[in-house]
Every structure is written in C-alpha cells, then in structure tokens.
C-alpha cells in the first residue's frame, strides 16, 4: 500500500531525517508531500560555484544532501514530494523511476491546463512558457540504494522565482525556470496536493493507497483515504462566541467543530472511572518529592493513574521547571515564562531514585523553547546522575522535540537512555489544533533519529480529540514505519473548560482493536486502554524490550 502524507510546512532537516528513517526501516512505501522554508540543497555532484550568493543574505539555508543532481531551491509555494519506495533493480532502474516521477508531474500539470514535457538529457519537467522559451517547472533528484528510493521532486506552484536567480538551477545555465502561477494557473499548493495524491498510486504501480494530511490555517483538511482529485474544504462549525478563541478556530480548521464535543459535566462511562487508593506508599513518595523539592508530571498533568503508580513506588519525574513554553490544547501543565534551570535538580532526582529503591526511572520535562538546546542538558545530566548510582537502573526519558536541533537531540541520544520516548500525541490532521508549536513530521524525525542511534523508541497517542479510527491506524503505521518499539494509547480527559473538548469516549473493545492492529504491524509492545498514559506500565514495557 502507498502511504501518501501531506505534511504541510516542514523544516528541511526534519524531512531529511524522516526520509532516512523510513528508508532504513524498509517497512512501508511512502510519498511525503510538503513545503519547506527557504533552502538551497546541493546533490552529491553539485558544483559549489553554482551558488551565486551567500544563502544567509537572502534568508536561506544551504544543505548538502545525498541525492543526485546539482544545486536546487526549495521554499514556500513549492510542492516537494519525497518518494520512499521499493524500486525494481533491473538495468536502467534509476532512469525508469525518474520517468515515472516525470509522468506524475506531467499528468498533474495537465489537470491545471499546463502542458508539461520532457527535455531529453535533462531530468525534470519543462513547459513552453508564455514568451515561447522552454523553462523548467519541476526539478527531480533521487537516490536509489539497495532497491529503495529517496528524495524526489520539487514542483513550482506559487514559488518566488527570484530565489532561483541566486543559483544556477540544477547546474543548467541555458534554461530558465517557471511556476504554475507564472503560467497562468490560480491554484495553491494544497490544490495540487490533492491531484498528485490521486494520480500517484496508479503511476507508481499501487492498487491500494491511504491519504492523510495536515489541516491548514485557511480550513483545508486533507483526510480522504479514498484519494479524491481535490482537497476537502471544511465548513467551520463554531458559533460566533467561540470564533474568538484560537483553540476553536484551530479545531474548525481541522474539521472538528466545538459542537461535537462532549460536555465536561457529563458523566463519564464506567470504564473510565478509577478508584482512589491512597496507601502508605503514596504518602511516602509524596513526602520524598516534597522533601527534595521535585516535581512529578503525575501531579502536574492530573494523571488518572497517580494512585496506582505511586502506591507501587513508581513516579515520573518532571525536570527543567514547572512552567512550559508551549500551550498544547490537551495539557494541564501551566504555560508561563520559565525560571532559569536548577542545576542541582538532576542530582536530587538521582537521590530520589536511590531513596525509593527504584530499578526503573522515568524522566520527562516541560518544553523549554526559551533555551538554545530546548532543555536537552537537563536530560543528559539527569541520566548521568542516575547512572552514577552504580546500580543497574533502567532509565526512560520522555523528551520534547528540542525544536529539531540536531546537536541537542544527539546529546540526549548519546546519553543512552534505555527508552527514548517522544509522543506524537494525535493524528496528522489534528496536529495544528492539538499542539500548534510542534509537528507530526518533526516528531517522526525525532523518533527516526533515536532509532538510528540504536535506542529503544516509544511514542504515545491520545484518542478522543476528533480523530477517526482509520486515522489512528494510519498513525500507527507511520510509527511502525520509522521503527518505534513501544506505543501507548489512552483516552483524552478534558482537564478544564479551556482545553480541547472530548469528541468521543472510546470503548475497551476499540482500545483492544488498536492494540492488536499495532502489534500486527510489528510494534513490539502496545499499551492501549482508557486510562493508559505515557508512563503507564513503563517499567514492564521498557525492561521487556532490547534493541
């Protein structure tokens, strides 16, 4: 099956890491559709003299990559397609694959009344421009290794063509470039996405495909698994009073109206309710945390399992302060300007681990976008302090995306936690509504990097925020495709009226279905139940899996 994903705007380095993760796993066939910020990329045979200005002077990055071809430009208004697919290994496999990509772009342009054509000896798609000249409208650069492809194409839709004047595009000086807009089309990138998604399965030889994507700020929702020829335009379902709330506007953009939510005052189903058991172990752990001036996410996030876990001597330490720089729509942790890091905190966490006699410790943190490393040093130092206790103590860290910073993430990977957890939280369509300062692609990139570093990886999904069962299964397929070993799935519980509404109470049967589905994909442990949270049964899952 071809997995088509519209990821919207993605940082180039995030997409690059994600591509490698999908390529290395060899578990699925993906067509990733997205846009980048301004970036010039140089293929393995690129001539640096084809960069005519310092990219920083025009607000662009410059990145060397492992595709074929010379220098090219990616930026807003350009639809980029990354083809991570199995490719036939017979003679001429690379030119034959490039020809298929050209077929896809030519067929797409035809839907918008633009005649695309080949230019013998020059990969890509070209068109006769209004002035009668032959101009390039789409660049193609691929890498094929071990029967798998990476990279793909870049189709200029509403691209700022002035950005091409700073380079010799693809090392070809005798031809100019153009865009669909320059050729008279009034379409936007999202319009082209729907057409590409509908044409790609047949052209690449797939009889089955799934198509899911991000919602955009203007109300487009890419959520049609049947691959229609255009994007669904969502009609917002919010009333005038709710219109003023950014959370409700994001929900409407994703196709989830506030009218669909379940009232916070409505009685919860019996299978959601938990009995409170405040035993001596709970009190002892609470006193330990207060005595060492430590914070637990169990308390800060209002976890429903706090009494069960604490009575078993298990807690999740929350480092780097109590105030988060992000404002996710589901989370009870306070959003505020954080205090400076407490440099002694890692030592005190290790002291608590020793005092409690733990053989498995879970450490998470608030997002610290105010710090250059996103708070990575706190994780590294806490892991190191726990290791210095000299006992065989398992350590799981639940990290933020560290803003995608490669050095920060690499430092955490090198600290070698036993489990690297990073939650994707929800399906692709709802990312912007649920966690506007994060992204689906970046989360998959973080997990891909951890897998490449040789770590056991884990991720979590919250259900009941407006997603469908099919979307959840697609998310599980994406997690499996980058090599995630452990997944937690739990019911969303609305903390306050200011948070996302609950759209649905999932039944125990549905949780069991998701567990079976995930494990059938090769995910080695799926913890799926109404009251499951990221750290629930973390010790059992973490100690039971080795890379």
Q: Which of 61-70, 245-254, 269-278 has the lowest mean pLDDT?
A: 269-278
Cβ-contact 227, 198 below 8 angstroms: yes
Predicted local distance difference test score (pLDDT) of residue 393: 87
Residue 67 labelled as part of a binding site: yes
Residue 303 labelled as part of a binding site: yes
Residue 152 labelled as part of a binding site: yes
Q: Which of 112-126, 242-256, 501-515 has the lowest mean pLDDT?
A: 242-256
Mean pLDDT of 425-451: 94
Decide which of 408 and 303 is more confident: 408
Mean pLDDT of 424-429: 94
Q: Give me the domain span that covers residue 220.
A: 2-233
Decide which of 227 and 30 is more confident: 30
pLDDT tens track for 252-283? 777 776 555 777 777 778 777 655 555 555 56
Domain assignment present for 257? no
The CATH number for 165's domain is 3.30.930.10
Q: Which of 26-30, 196-200, 482-486 has the lowest mean pLDDT?
A: 26-30
Residues 20 and 111 in one domain: yes
Residues 161 and 287 in one domain: no
Decide which of 228 and 195 is more confident: 195
Q: Out of 170, 199, 233, pick the residue that ends a domain.
A: 233
The CATH number for 511's domain is 3.20.20.70
Mean pLDDT of 58-62: 95
pLDDT tens track for 176-186? 999 999 999 99
Q: Which of 227-241, 365-379, 436-450, 525-539 has the lowest mean pLDDT?
A: 227-241
Average per-residue pLDDT for the chain: 85
Decide which of 491 and 219 is more confident: 491
Residue 487, pLDDT > 70, answer yes
Predicted local distance difference test score (pLDDT) of residue 218: 42
Q: Out of 202, 233, 264, pick the residue that ends a domain.
A: 233
Q: Please count the other Cβ atoms lying within 10 Å of the Cβ belonging to residue 464.
A: 22
Phi/psi at 412 (5° precision): -70, -45
pLDDT tens track for 150-175? 999 999 999 999 999 999 998 888 89
Please, which residues bridge with residue 127 across strands?
Answer: 135
Residue 191, pLDDT > 90, answer yes
Residue 302 labelled as part of a binding site: no
Give Cα 137 to chain centroid, integer Å: 29
Residues 170 and 281 in one domain: no
* Residue 74's pLDDT band (cuts 50, 70, 90): very high
Mean pLDDT of 516-525: 96
What distance in Å separates the CA atoms of residue 408 and residue 320, rounded to the nearest whole number?
A: 15
Look up residue 362 and give its two tokens.
């879970």
What distance in Å separates the CA atoms of residue 506 and residue 511, rounded to the nearest whole number?
A: 7
Look up residue 70 and give its two tokens.
């010379």
Phi/psi at 354 (5° precision): -65, -45
Residue 242, pLDDT > 50, answer no
Predicted local distance difference test score (pLDDT) of residue 284: 64
Alpha carbon of 232 to those of 191, 224, 229: distances in Å? Answer: 10, 8, 10
Decide which of 325 and 424 is more confident: 424
Predicted local distance difference test score (pLDDT) of residue 443: 96
Q: Give kind and range of the element (H or E) at residue 325.
A: none
Residues 203 and 328 in one domain: no
What distance in Å separates the CA atoms of residue 411 and residue 159, rounded to the nearest whole number?
A: 36
Residue 140 labelled as part of a binding site: yes
Mean pLDDT of 325-352: 86
Residue 211 labelled as part of a binding site: no
Q: Which residues are catalytic?
A: 170
Quote the number of domains for the chain.
2
pLDDT tens track for 128-143? 988 899 999 999 999 9
Residue 238, pLDDT > 60, answer no
Domain assignment present for 226? yes
* Residue 286's pLDDT band (cuts 50, 70, 90): low
Predicted local distance difference test score (pLDDT) of residue 230: 39
Predicted local distance difference test score (pLDDT) of residue 220: 40
* Residue 285's pLDDT band (cuts 50, 70, 90): low
Residue 68 labelled as part of a binding site: yes
* Residue 382's pLDDT band (cuts 50, 70, 90): very high
Residues 168 and 73 in one domain: yes
Residues 11 and 129 in one domain: yes
Residues 215 and 294 in one domain: no
Look up residue 21 and give its two tokens.
């993760």
What DSSP string runs through 121-178?
TEEEEEEE-TTS-EEEEEEEEEEEETTEEEEEEEEESS--GGGGGGB-GGG--SSEE-
Q: Out of 203, 233, 263, pick the residue that ends a domain.
A: 233
Residues 380 and 326 in one domain: yes
Residues 339 and 195 in one domain: no
Domain assignment present for 485? yes
Domain assignment present for 249? no
Mean pLDDT of 425-434: 92
Residue 513, pLDDT > 90, answer yes
């Amino acid at each position: 099956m071809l997995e088509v994903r519209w990821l919207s705007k993605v940082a180039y380095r995030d997409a690059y890491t994600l591509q490698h993760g999908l390529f290395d796993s060899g578990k699925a066939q993906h067509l990733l559709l997205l846009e980048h910020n301004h970036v010039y990329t140089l293929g393995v045979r690129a001539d640096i003299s084809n960069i005519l200005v310092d990219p920083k002077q025009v607000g662009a990055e410059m990145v060397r990559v492992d595709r074929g071809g010379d220098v090219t430009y990616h930026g807003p208004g350009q639809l980029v397609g990354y083809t991570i697919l199995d490719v036939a290994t017979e003679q001429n496999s690379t030119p034959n694959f490039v020809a298929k990509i050209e077929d896809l772009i030519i067929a797409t342009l035809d839907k918008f009344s633009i005649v695309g054509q080949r230019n013998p000896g020059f990969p890509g798609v070209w068109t006769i421009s209004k002035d009668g000249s032959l101009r390039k409208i789409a660049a193609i650069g691929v890498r094929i290794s071990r029967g798998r492809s990476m990279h793909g194409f870049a189709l200029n839709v509403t691209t700022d063509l002035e950005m091409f004047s700073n380079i010799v595009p693809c090392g070809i000086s005798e031809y100019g470039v153009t865009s669909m807009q320059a050729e008279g089309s009034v379409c936007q990138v999202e319009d082209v996405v729907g057409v590409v998604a509908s044409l790609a399965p047949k052209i690449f030889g797939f009889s089955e495909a799934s198509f899911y994507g991000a919602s955009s700020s203007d109300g487009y929702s890419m959520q049609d698994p049947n691959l229609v020829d255009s994007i669904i335009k969502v009609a917002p379902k919010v009333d005038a009073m709710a219109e003023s709330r950014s959370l409700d506007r994001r929900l409407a953009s994703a196709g989830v109206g506030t009218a669909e939510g379940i009232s916070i005052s409505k009685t919860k189903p019996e299978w959601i309710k938990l009995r409170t058991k405040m035993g001596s172990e709970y009190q002892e752990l609470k006193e330990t945390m207060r005595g060492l001036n430590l914070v637990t996410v169990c308390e800060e996030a209002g976890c429903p399992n706090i009494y069960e876990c604490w009575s078993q001597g298990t807690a999740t330490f929350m480092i780097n302060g109590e105030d988060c720089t992000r404002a996710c729509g589901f989370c009870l942790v306070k959003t505020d300007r954080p205090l400076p890091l407490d440099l002694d905190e890692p030592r005190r966490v290790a002291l608590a681990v020793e005092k409690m006699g733990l053989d498995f410790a879970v450490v998470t943190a608030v997002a610290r976008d105010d710090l250059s490393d996103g708070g990575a040093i706190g994780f590294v130092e806490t892991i190191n302090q726990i290791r210095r206790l000299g006992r065989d103590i398992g350590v799981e860290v639940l990290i933020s995306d560290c803003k995608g910073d490669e050095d920060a993430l690499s430092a955490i990977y090198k600290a070698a936690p036993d489990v690297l957890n990073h939650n994707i939280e929800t399906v692709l369509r709802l990312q912007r509504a649920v966690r506007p300062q994060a992204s689906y692609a970046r989360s998959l990139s973080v997990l891909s990097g951890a897998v490449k570093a040789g770590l056991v990886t884990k991720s979590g999904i919250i259900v009941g925020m407006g997603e469908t069962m099919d979307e959840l299964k697609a998310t599980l397929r994406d997690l499996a495709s980058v090599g995630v070993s452990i997944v937690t799935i739990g019911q969303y519980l609305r903390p306050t009226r200011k948070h996302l509404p609950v759209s649905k109470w999932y039944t125990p049967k549905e949780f069991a279905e998701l567990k079976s589905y995930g494990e059938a994909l090769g995910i080695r442990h799926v913890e799926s139940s109404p009251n499951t949270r990221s750290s629930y049964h973390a010790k059992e899952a973490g100690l039971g899996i080795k890379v």
